[in-house]
Amino acid sequence: MERENFIIAIDGFSSCGKSTVAKAIAKRLNFVFVDSGAMYRAVTLYFLRNRIDITDTEAIKTALANIHIDFIPNTDKTQILLNGEDISDEIRQMEVSEKVSEVSAIKEVRHAMVAQQQQLGARRDIVMDGRDIGTTVFPDADLKIFMTADPLVRANRRHAELVAKGEQVTLDEIIENLAHRDHIDSTREESPLRQAEDAIVLDNSNLTQDDQLDFVLEYFNERKK
Ligand code: DC
């Protein structure tokens, strides 16, 4: 039976503004927005807090069985709960950013998260952003966008975001973190970051948020059921 809900997959490199676009589309179309990166960040935070050895498969499996992730949908900010605790701000800290690519490359972690993501999109109209949404999570998504932007533009954006939150971090540290994450995300064995063959590329280096929203909406209107 053909699926009736509409799925928009937005993938791309770190700090390309995927979540910003995804959130705006969800708001405009009244879709549920899911930030899949926040889920990997939540797992990473749990691993850091509980000192999980990421080379110990049994410890990883036990930890995953004890992790429950919930979203509070369609608020302006992504609100995510880890075992009932709101960890929305904590998962954006550099300590988590520095470890998240290693944690999200672990096979057991990916299998657990992909299964949860597929459930979230089973019946609802959804916009999900991440790295492997159009390739692994929803290979049959109705619209796939692959976002990219100039690395320096990305680093400057992320730097401004963190500084605004009061984090002490240099632009060089951000450039290094982004390059490191892109490398791990693109070269890992399990569902690496890559552009789906049927994805539409959106380079937003020189685009406003409204331009990006219009770009995606145009394709949405073309494909809507
Ligand atoms: O989108 P983000 O920067 O918050 O994602 C954090 C990390 O999670 C990113 O470095 C790679 C990983 N990730 C992933 O492997 N697969 C996804 N679908 C989403 C994120």
The two tokens of residue 191 are 């569902």
Q: Is the CB of 33 under 6 A from ligand 1?
A: no
Q: Is 144 helix (H, G, I), strand (E, B) or coil?
A: strand
Q: Is the CB of 154 under 6 A from ligand 1?
A: no
DSSP secondary structure string, 11-31? EESTTSSHHHHHHHHHHHHTP
Distance in Å, CA 224 to ligand 1 centroid: 27
**What does pLDDT average to over the chain?**
93
Q: What is the mean pLDDT of residues 31-51?
A: 96
Q: At 8, give phi and psi (nearest 5°).
A: -110, 125
Residue 185: count of CB within 10 angstroms of its CB: 21
Distance in Å, CA 1 to ligand 1 centroid: 31
Pairing label, strands 7-12, 143-148: parallel
| Ranges of each domain in the chain | 7-35+95-224
Residues 117-160 have pLDDT tens digits of 999 999 899 999 999 999 999 999 999 999 999 999 999 999 99
Q: Is the CB of 185 under 6 A from ligand 1?
A: yes
> What is the Cα–Cα distance from 165 to 171, expressed in whole angstroms?
15
> Could you tell me if 35 and 78 are in contact, meaning their C-beta atoms sit under 8 angstroms apart?
yes
Q: Is the CB of 36 under 6 A from ligand 1?
A: yes
Position 135 scores a pLDDT of 96
Residues 155-210 have pLDDT tens digits of 999 999 889 989 899 999 999 999 998 999 899 998 899 999 999 999 999 999 99
Q: Is the CB of 177 under 6 A from ligand 1?
A: no
pTM of the complete model: 0.92
Residues 101-119 have pLDDT tens digits of 999 999 999 999 999 999 9
State the fold for domain 7-35+95-224.
Rossmann fold (3.40.50)
Distances (CA, A) of 56 to 40, 52, 103, 109, 120: 18, 8, 12, 12, 29
- Residue whose CA lies nearest to ligand 1 atom number 8: 37
> What is the Cα–Cα distance from 115 to 135, expressed in whole angstroms?
14
- Residue whose CA lies nearest to ligand 1 atom number 11: 101
- Residue whose CA lies nearest to ligand 1 atom number 5: 37
Distance in Å, CA 2 to ligand 1 centroid: 29
> What is the Cα–Cα distance from 88 to 38, expressed in whole angstroms?
8
Distance, C-alpha 85 to centroid of its chain: 20
Position 126 scores a pLDDT of 95
Position 173 scores a pLDDT of 94
> Could you tell me if 5 and 124 are in contact, meaning their C-beta atoms sit under 8 angstroms apart?
yes
Strand partners, 7: 126
pLDDT(55) > 90: yes
Position 74 scores a pLDDT of 58
> What is the Cα–Cα distance from 156 to 7, expressed in whole angstroms?
31
